[in-house]
Chains A and B, each alone.
Chain A
């Protein structure tokens, strides 16, 4: 039964993930007073891209073609480690949070190498920035997870989510909320959102993620877009699963979880609407700030337990 529920939630993620960027865009459009693209635009984009042929740069090698498939494969495995509210992940074990971080690092390296394979200085620049910001995002992510491990006494993401549903917020509300805030900042940075990157700009000075995939087209680009949506889904699902909104009812909890995911999309959209992108040299400051929040969460978690 639990395995069935986990499998169902995993499949739901695969199907619904492209809707999440749609929600973000709708919120941004509404805030800016625009009509905006349809919520399901990404599905249409993916369908169109999958029907196209491909143009590959003659400079590139198999590394370029390996980037999109490796990125998608990594995020598909990572998604299997993420709980969905009260429902445990299909795969969970002590230390799965390390594998979770490791898989996103694989995705990042595959994308950066594919970018460098084109020999384009735009894409090299994007890869360089991606590499630089990851150096600050990754410690923040792992220390935030460490804070959660400290208050939940569980070394797996699903265990932490289970603890969040059973009274964790009663005795450790402050550290968990601080850790969630840190995770949210990392989510914004890792998913190329404002205030780190701007998903709307391909060739402005903001270029980080979008510029790395300039030379990908057709089915390759579809794989990349889909993998990005799944990555946003996986990161949001982790944060939503740490929130205390549970009933214990196996029918109602998934609905609450999906509502939470939509809420995460709205929150990202609001951030994008009300914040300007940071100067490049400021991004590490923000990520170090997230790490400071995570360390604060650790300190509070310690005193909270006496």
Chain B
């Protein structure tokens, strides 16, 4: 705990110093990024100790705020999320030190580092807070710090709009959370409001409020609309932190709420599973329809949050149905996916940042052929793409394996409706996995393979070493998480134990069995890599001494192929977008082609978010219209306002008199 406090102190003080450094970039980076890295490394020590199962730590400092107490605690669940926050926070800071350059519109990069360090610090406080008021204050600082980073390029209209959407969405979520904590009253245990505040809502309502409040941050569909706007607008290292760990704070809150609300009935599990399936499938389908690389990644965050929710939902259903092994597997799979997603999504956002940095565009149809121009970035991006598609031998497969294993063991142990839940989860995960594979084949193939589609792509080059290093580390973690799966799963015992504390699930035994299975899975992964290496070696031996030549790609005899004749991202995604058009609503626009030898033609597709355009936009327009009618009250005449005050006082007097 002292180390954590030191880390927080370093974050805030170096952030302030960076703010003071202002436009002097070298100093801002040294203080801001250097401080973030140092603080994260210091803070990782207690976080990792907590995940390993060290005794819970706590700190209480007197605080005169009503209902508030400055009490922090570190149990394995907090430690798990804290470790993810600090690890990715440090790597993204290293990257950002090189990436974030002063621009004419934004010369004072010191401010960005202030907000960045404050964001990391506030996330750390949120997961360690043991008091509702402290939690909400840290939560709000987290929202505001990330808001100022989202609107960093506020000379751009889209960044301002994204920031506005984010701010509104986040505060709707916070409103639900205030309701949640007030309703929780003194039953909230460590996160309660203390004695003397009776709970005012039933557990079901509290769960609903938590789902809404934390769901906005996590990005469950249909609460996700801010995500595809805000992630692309922020600088790439901030996108990595927001997508990799900040949205996971929503998952943390939900898990913490589940531990506070007592044994969860199966119906909550069903809700989580349904939300997970919808978010997973619609998230990845929307990703498939995107042309903007960062928007595509943002929708994949929605998908992965869905997978995490599916794991937790299956865990709750299995626990309620009396299948302890499946419950442990579901929770463990969901939690492991939190860490895995932080790894590969952080990696993908950083590499995307490198692509944008070098080429100046994130529009897929303008890219291509970057594997030759930025080979290291291409390699690490491919590692991330395979990992996020949930394919062996990387880490994404391991967490999806655990969730699928939970579903399959529900099939043998469960009866009735649990079987339905299991089958729904299996079919959806299979579909999500293949859709993600399709989407990342598209993304990697169109950005890095083939020929450059524009001059932007021809400018590609690998970034400076400081920007490559974090990607390399994250890629290595993706591989280690796959090949070291049996070892990794051992680290889940203590965090899952917190979730299962009330139910007495046999966490240790189940995870030990699973580690045995994962040893075979990891062995198969290693065998795959070894066999691929052997086959490549055999091919090289075969080809030595024979004619190996280069030529143009075969084009059916067509003599003058151009790079524009390549399959594009839209054409690759077209069949799937067409099959699922009823839930995507992709719009096509094309100019008329006239004459036998047309000289001009145009075609464009756009993928608006159906939830934003069909559900939320009309709702907000309606609310705004209703509230607009109240405008008549604000006539600007002093007499009228005095009359309002008098009427209100009379009403209050009458009400008081009735008591």
Contact = CB atoms under 8 A, between A and B. Distances in A.
Nearest to B568: A124
Interface string B516-551: 110011001001111111111001001100111111
A291 B554 contact: no
A99 B426 contact: no
A40 B382 CA distance: 38
Interface string A131-163: 110110111011100100110011100000000
A29 interface: no
Interface residues of B, number: 85
Interface in B552-580: 552-556, 563, 565-567, 571-576, 579
Interface string B363-386: 000001101100100100010001
Interface string B32-58: 000000000000000000000000000
Contacts of A125: 567, 571
B138 interface: no
Contacts of B430: 101, 138-139, 141-143
Interface string A66-95: 101110111011001100000000010111
A220 B372 contact: no
Interface residues of A, number: 84
Interface in B387-410: 389-392, 397, 401, 404-405, 407-409
B134 interface: no
Contacts of A132: 438, 575-576, 579
A201 interface: no
Contact of A98 (B386, B404, B551, B574): B404
Contacts of B532: 66, 69-70, 72-73
Interface in B407-437: 407-409, 411-412, 415, 419, 422-423, 426-431, 433-435, 437
Given A66-B532, A77-B531, A149-B411, A116 B450 contact: yes
A59 interface: yes
Nearest to B403: A98
A117 B369 CA distance: 8
B441 interface: yes
A138 B431 contact: yes
Contacts of B524: 77, 80-81, 91, 99, 103
Given A74-B528, A98-B408, A128-B571, A284 B386 contact: no
A286 interface: no
Contacts of B427: 139, 142-143, 291
Interface stretch (A2-10, A47-55, A173-181, A246-254): A47-55
A99 B401 contact: yes
Given A131-B441, A132-B575, A298-B423, A57 B554 contact: yes
A131 B548 contact: no
A116 B553 contact: no
B541 to A, nearest CB: 10
A113 interface: yes
B444 interface: yes
Contacts of A122: 556
Contacts of A138: 430-431, 433-434
B445 interface: yes
B445 A93 contact: no
A14 B302 CA distance: 42
B546 A57 contact: no
Interface stretch (A17-25, A104-112, A270-278): A104-112
Contacts of B19: none
A295 B576 CA distance: 23
Given A69-B532, A76-B531, A59 B576 contact: no
Interface in A211-265: 214-215, 218-220, 223
A102 B391 contact: yes
A52 B449 contact: no
A94 B517 contact: yes
A118 B529 CA distance: 24
Contacts of B404: 95, 98, 142
B551 A58 contact: yes
A25 B517 CA distance: 40
A96 B404 CA distance: 11
A146 B441 contact: no
Contact of B445 (A97, A117, A214): A117
B596 to A, nearest CB: 23
B528 A219 contact: no
Given A70-B532, A131-B438, A95 B408 contact: yes
Contacts of A54: 543, 546-549
A58 B446 CA distance: 17
B462 interface: no
Contacts, number: 260
A57 B553 contact: yes
Nearest to B525: A77
A128 B536 contact: no
A287 B447 CA distance: 31
A109 B391 contact: yes
A121 B567 contact: yes
B537 to A, nearest CB: 9
Contact of A284 (B372, B382, B574, B579): B579
Contacts of A101: 430
Contacts of B229: none
Contacts of A131: 434, 437-438, 441-442, 572, 575-576
A304 B156 CA distance: 64
A30 B536 CA distance: 39
A127 interface: yes
B451 interface: yes
Nearest to A119: B450
B241 to A, nearest CB: 28
Given A116-B445, A284-B579, A214 B554 contact: yes
A61 interface: yes
A16 interface: no
A53 B520 contact: no
A191 to B, nearest CB: 16
B555 A103 contact: no
A120 interface: yes
B408 A119 contact: no
A109 B386 contact: yes
Interface in A32-52: 50, 52
Nearest to A57: B553
A119 B563 contact: yes
A134 B437 contact: yes
A72 B535 contact: yes
A100 B536 CA distance: 23
Contacts of A65: 536, 539
Given A108-B437, A116-B450, 8 more contacts: A53-B543, A73-B530, A113-B449, A124-B571, A127-B567, A142-B426, A142-B430, A155-B408
27 contacts: A53-B543, A56-B548, A58-B550, A61-B449, A63-B371, A73-B531, A80-B527, A93-B516, A93-B520, A95-B521, A97-B408, A102-B397, A102-B401, A109-B389, A113-B444, A113-B449, A116-B445, A119-B369, A127-B445, A132-B576, A135-B434, A139-B426, A149-B408, A149-B412, A150-B419, A155-B409, A219-B543
9 closest A-B pairs by CB? A124-B567, A116-B445, A119-B450, A131-B438, A73-B531, A53-B546, A73-B532, A132-B575, A69-B535
